[in-house]
Every structure is written in C-alpha cells, then in structure tokens.
Structure 1
Amino acid sequence: MKVANHTVVEIHYTLKDADGSVIDSSANSDPLKYLQGAGNIVPGLEKAMLEKAPGDTFSAVIAPEEGYGQQKPELIQIMPRSAFDHIEELDVGMAFHAENTHGQPMEVEIIDIDGDEITINGNHPLAGVELHFEIEVVSVRQATAEEIDRGDVH
C-alpha cells in the first residue's frame, strides 16, 4: 500500500537545518505515526510523502512556506516586566503558554531581557527555517473510520 490521504503512516526521520545541524530525529525511538491528509505534519512533508511505500527512503527539503511559515514580526513584542510579576526569575529561552488575540493558545518565548523590557517571540521556533528531512517509510495502512473522523491516529 502506498501513502495516500486517509492512510496511517509510520516513518523514521531525521530533521536538519540548512547547515546540517540535527533539529530532531526518531533514531533510537519508535517511528512517528501520523494520519496522512489530516495536517498532522508540515504541509511540504505531507506532499512529499504521497505515493511512498514501506521501505522507501528519501530526502525532502521543505521551504519555510511549506513548513512552519515565515517569521511574523507582529508576533515579536516588548512587554513590561510587570506583565511577568507572578514569576520571580526570568531568563532568555523561557517559554510560556499564552492566548493570541483570537483567544487561541500559543507558546511564546523570551528572546531578550533589557532592564524592565522583556521581548517575547510568538513565532514557532522553526518559523523561517528551511527543513531538511531524511525519511524512511516503515509502514502504511488504511485509517479506520474513527481515525479519519478524529483526524489523528490512536
């Protein structure tokens, strides 16, 4: 069976940036299992997976637009220290759960601290990054009706 919409796919992967630094990998762990066509993985990789079969190995380079998007400057904001009064110690790299202007959850990261000015970034950490994948297709099966309805594998 080949990868198509409404199939459950298991892959081993290594994700690197354009410089070859490993960002993430399934090496030494279980394969990643996802539902094809449900938006469970970045769009560019989902497109690259179509028509692949168990045993296939391939590389895919995914542009930011087909990955985690470009950096959005409006998601970088300077906040007053008083907005973090409930936290004693702030450090660059700390992440927090917040809500966007539409009330949807998002994660923000502190990227700079300058006195009482705290700069946060609400962009995905891989926004603007060209993604380099090495993929091995482990298995492909038809998704159950319940998996299709839910939009994920279980």
Structure 2
Amino acid sequence: MSQAVIGENSQVIFHFSIKLEDGSAADSTKVHNKPAKLTMGDGSLTANFEKCLLGLTAGESKTFELEPEDAFGQPNPDNIYYVDRSKFGPETPAQVGAIIAFTQPDGTELPGLVREVQGESVTIDFNHPLSGQRLTFEVDIIEVEG
C-alpha cells in the first residue's frame, strides 16, 4: 500500500515544536503527547506553513523557519488595550508578564498579556505572544489521510 502524501485537502496528524531565534522552545505538542490535527486548506495555518508540509508522508520529519508574516503575523497596535486597574482583583493581579483570560462579549475567552502597569492604567496586549518573531518549526508527521 502506498503512503498518502500531504496534498491540498489532506487531513494530517502531526507533532510540532516551535523554537525562538535564541533556540529556546516556545511550544511543543510533545510535552503533553497530544499531536495536532489539521485539514489542509482550512485556514488554521498560513499558506506558507502549509506549503512547507506539502509532499511529506507519515513518518517524515522536517524543520523550517518562518518569518513573522508566515507564522503568527506582526503585532497589531489595535490589539493593545488600556484597562482600569480597578478591574483586577486578588485572583488576577495586574502584574507585568501575567497572562489573563478576558471574556469577550460573545462568551469566548481571549488571553491578554500585561505589558505595563502605571498608576491606575494597565496595558494589555492581545496580540499572539509569538507575533513579530521569526520561528523555527520542527514537524513530525504521524498520519496522513486523503
């Protein structure tokens, strides 16, 4: 039986690790042994990320580098908000570096990073924490369908 090759509409199960430019690990599905599942072309990954997967088969591994625009994008200044310090309590103190989940009007939660605390104003950054960074991805393809 020939192995399925990743194509335009393949379903792919794979492990990935993301490394920052300094070589430190930012994320890895191997930590909890929960591989990612992807349907090619569904928009969950950028086109350039998907291009790096095309042609791979189960059992293959590949390492590639992506510029910020091809990974998590550049930070968007519209995603920086200033929140009144009174909105924070003992469970969620306004501390620089803290990641706090904010409930959106539609009920979904959006994580924000506390960038700055000045007086009664707290600066929250809702950009993806890896936006603006050149990243190295290591993928291990586990299964390919279609």
TM-score bracket, shorter-length normalisation: 0.7 to 0.9
State the Cα distance separating 1:39 from its structure 2 match.
1.9
2:83 pairs, out of 79, 85, 88, with 79
* Matched residue, 1:30: 34
**8 Å contact from structure 1 (residues 75, 122) kept in 2:** yes
Give the aligned CA root-mean-square deviation in angstroms.
2.4
Which residue in the other structure is 1:40 paired with?
44
Structure 1 contact 58–135 (Cα < 8 Å) conserved: yes
CA gap of 1:80–1:31, structure 2 versus 1, over 3 A, is: closer
Which of 94, 100, 103 aligns to 1:95? It is: 100
Return structure 1 stretches of 4+ with deviation > 3 angstroms: 104-107
* Deviation of the 1:99 alpha carbon: 4.1
- Other structure's SS at 1:54 match: coil
| Other-structure match for 1:121 | 125
Residue 98 of structure 1: how far off its partner (Å)? 4.7
Runs of 5+ unmatched residues, structure 1: 143-154
The alignment partner of 2:30 has SS state of coil
Find the aligned partners of 1:67 and 1:43 in 2 and give their Cα distance: 10
Amino-acid identity (%): 27
> If the length of structure 1 is used for normalisation, what is the TM-score?
0.77
- Is contact 1:11–1:139 with CA below 8 Å preserved after alignment? yes
Unaligned ranges ≥5, structure 2: none
What code does the residue aligned with 1:123 have? N
* 8 Å CA contact retained: 2:85, 2:94: no
TM-score, normalising length from structure 2? 0.81
Post-superposition CA distance 1:26-84 (Å, at most 9, x none): 225132221111123344321211111112221111111011110122322333324x1
Aligned length: 139
Cα deviation, residue 14, structure 1: 1.5
Q: For residues 73-127 of structure 1, give each alpha carbon's deviation from its aligned partner in whole angstroms, at most 9, with x where no partner exists.
A: 2322333324x16x34322213132549xxx864322211122111111111111
